[in-house]
Amino acid sequence: MRAILAMALLLAAAPASAATLTVRITGVAEAAGVLRIAVCNQSFDEQGCLYGTSEAAVVPGRDVQFPGLEPGSYAVAVYQDLDGSGELNRNGLGLPTEPYGFSNDVGRIAPPSFSGALFELSGDRTIEIRVRPLFGG
């Protein structure tokens, strides 16, 4: 009985294990450029996004995995870099001209709110991000 109790206490005290986040990107209308994906835990700026990658854009989209993430709160930003410039292109008013998306679909009618894009990761999880242009799509 003591052995069972000791094992139960050890399991309860064990640190939370790392998880795999799968970002399912949908809505890709053309196989042009690359998808740039950032997983952020502090803000949407470069210092707040500790994990990121680029993958070829394919129609209608793709899954991208981020293994080894610690449990916590995260937000995801994705854009389709059509011209390979490494930056989200904007018009003269500062509005995006390339397809983009955020977790929880924030940033469609107002600038994206980091707090609005946050979700909890406590184990392996898949979230969907639909990329589309600001107008249309």
In eight-state DSSP terms, residue 47 is: G
Residue 112 belongs to some domain of the structure: yes
- Total Cβ atoms within 10 A of residue 96: 15
Residue 3 belongs to some domain of the structure: no
CA distance 79 to 63: 14
Residue partners of 109: CB distance under 8 A and separation at least 6: none
Residue 6 belongs to some domain of the structure: no
Confidence of residue 1 (pLDDT cuts 50, 70, 90): low
What range does the domain containing 34 cover? 17-130
Mean pLDDT across the stretch 109-114?
91
**CATH code at 21?**
2.60.40.1120
Residue 44 belongs to some domain of the structure: yes
Q: What is the pLDDT of residues 9-26, one digit of tens each?
A: 444 444 568 999 999 999
Residue 4 belongs to some domain of the structure: no
pLDDT of residue 108: 86
Confidence of residue 135 (pLDDT cuts 50, 70, 90): confident
Residue 11 belongs to some domain of the structure: no
Number of structural domains found in the chain: 1
Q: What is the pLDDT of residues 23-73, one digit of tens each?
A: 999 999 999 999 999 999 999 999 999 999 999 999 999 999 999 999 999
- Please state the pTM of the whole predicted model: 0.85
Residue 26 belongs to some domain of the structure: yes
Residue 70 belongs to some domain of the structure: yes
